[in-house]
A and B are shown apart, each in its own frame.
Chain A
Amino acid sequence: MSGRIGVRKTYKLYVDGDFPRSESGRTYPALDHRGEVIARVAAATRKDLRGAVRAARRAQPSWAARTGYNRGQIIYRIAEMVEDRAAVFAAQVRMAGVAAAKARREVFRSIDRLVWYAGWADKYQQVIGNLNPVAGPFFNISVPEPTGVVGVIAPEAPALLGLVSRLAPVIVSGNTAVVLASERWPAPSVVLAEAMATADLPGGVVNILTGPRSGMAPYLASHLDVNGIDAYGADEDMLAGLEEAAAAGVKRVVGPPEGRIAWMDDRTAQSPYAIAAFTEIKTVWHPKGL
Chain B
Amino acid sequence: MYDQTSERTPARRGEVVPSGLDYAPSLEAVDQVSIDESYDLWIDGKPSPPAANRYFPTVNPATEETLTRVAEGDGEDVDRAVAAARKAYNGAWGKMAGKERAKYLYRLARMLAERSREFAVLETLDGGKPIKESRDVDLPLASAHFFYYAGWADKLEYAFPGLDTRPLGVAAQVIPWNFPILMLAWKVAPALAAGNTVVLKPAETTPLTALAFARLTAEAGLPPGVLNIVTGGGGAGAEAVAHPGVDKVAFTGSTEVGKLIQKRLAGARKRLTLELGGKAPHIVFEDAPVDQAVEGVINGIFFNQGHVCCAGSRLLVQESIYDAFLDRLKVRLASLRVGDPLDKNTDVGAINSRAQLDKIGALVEIGVAEGAEMYQPPCALPERGYWFAPTLFMGVSQGHRIAREEIFGPVLSIMTFRTPVEAVEKANNTPYGLSAGVWTAKGSRILWVADRLRAGVVWANTYNKFDPASPFGGYRESGFGREGGRHGLLPYLRGGS
Contacts and interface: CB of A to CB of B under 8 A. Distances in A.
Which 4 interchain pairs have the tightest Cβ spacing? A240-B267, A243-B266, A247-B262, A244-B266
Interface string A229-270: 000000011011111101111111011001000000000000
Contacts of A249: 476-477
Contacts of B446: 286
Contact of A140 (B160, B263, B470): B470
B480 A250 contact: yes
A284 B266 contact: no
B179 interface: no
Nearest to A129: B487
A136 B262 CA distance: 36
B255 interface: yes
24 contacts: A135-B1, A135-B144, A142-B470, A142-B471, A239-B267, A241-B267, A243-B265, A247-B259, A252-B480, A254-B497, A273-B160, A273-B163, A273-B496, A280-B456, A281-B456, A282-B456, A282-B458, A283-B458, A283-B470, A283-B472, A283-B485, A284-B450, A285-B470, A286-B446
A250 B497 CA distance: 15
A281 B471 contact: yes
Dominant SS among interface residues on chain A: mixed
Interface in B410-468: 433, 446, 450, 453, 455-462, 465, 467
Given A237-B267, A285-B459, A285-B470, 20 more contacts: A134-B469, A135-B469, A136-B2, A140-B469, A142-B487, A227-B476, A243-B267, A244-B263, A247-B260, A249-B476, A250-B478, A250-B479, A252-B497, A255-B269, A277-B497, A280-B433, A282-B450, A283-B485, A284-B460, A285-B458
Interface residues of A, number: 43
Contacts of A273: 160, 162-163, 495-497
Contacts of B472: 283
Nearest to B260: A247
Contacts of B467: 132, 134-136, 138, 140
A125 to B, nearest CB: 13
A70 interface: no
Contacts of A133: 469
Contacts of A227: 476
A132 B471 contact: yes
B485 A142 contact: yes
Contacts of A67: none
Contact of A280 (B263, B450, B475, B485): B475
A251 B477 CA distance: 8
Contacts of A147: 475
Most interface-central of B255, B459, B495 (chain A CB within 10 A): B459
A140 B478 CA distance: 21
Contacts of A62: none
Contacts of B496: 273
Contacts of A25: none
Interface string B252-291: 0001001110110111010000101000000000000000
A241 B144 CA distance: 41
Dominant SS among interface residues on chain B: loop
A35 interface: no
B103 interface: no
Given A135-B1, A273-B495, A285-B459, A250 B263 contact: no
Given A247-B266, A281-B487, A286 B477 contact: no
Most interface-central of B274, B276, B460 (chain A CB within 10 A): B460
A273 B144 CA distance: 28
A287 interface: yes
A10 interface: no
A271 interface: yes
Interface of B: 1-2, 144, 160-163, 255, 258-260, 262-263, 265-267, 269, 274, 276, 433, 446, 450, 453, 455-462, 465, 467, 469-473, 475-480, 482, 485-487, 495-497
A236 B469 contact: no
A132 B460 CA distance: 15
Contacts of B485: 130, 132, 142, 283
B467 to A, nearest CB: 4
A287 B473 CA distance: 20
B448 to A, nearest CB: 12
A276 B497 CA distance: 9
B31 to A, nearest CB: 31
Given A250-B258, A280-B456, A244 B267 contact: yes
Contacts of B487: 142, 281
Given A140-B470, A244-B263, A250 B255 contact: yes
B24 to A, nearest CB: 31
B267 A285 contact: no
B94 to A, nearest CB: 20
B336 to A, nearest CB: 23
B165 to A, nearest CB: 12
A120 B284 CA distance: 36
A136 B144 CA distance: 13
B276 A250 contact: yes
A285 B462 contact: yes
A132 B470 contact: yes
A277 B260 CA distance: 22
Contacts of A136: 1-2, 465, 467
B465 A285 contact: yes
A250 B457 CA distance: 18
Nearest to B495: A273
A241 B267 CA distance: 7
A271 to B, nearest CB: 7
A281 B457 CA distance: 8
A243 B271 CA distance: 12
Contact of B456 (A127, A250, A271, A283): A283
A250 B477 contact: yes
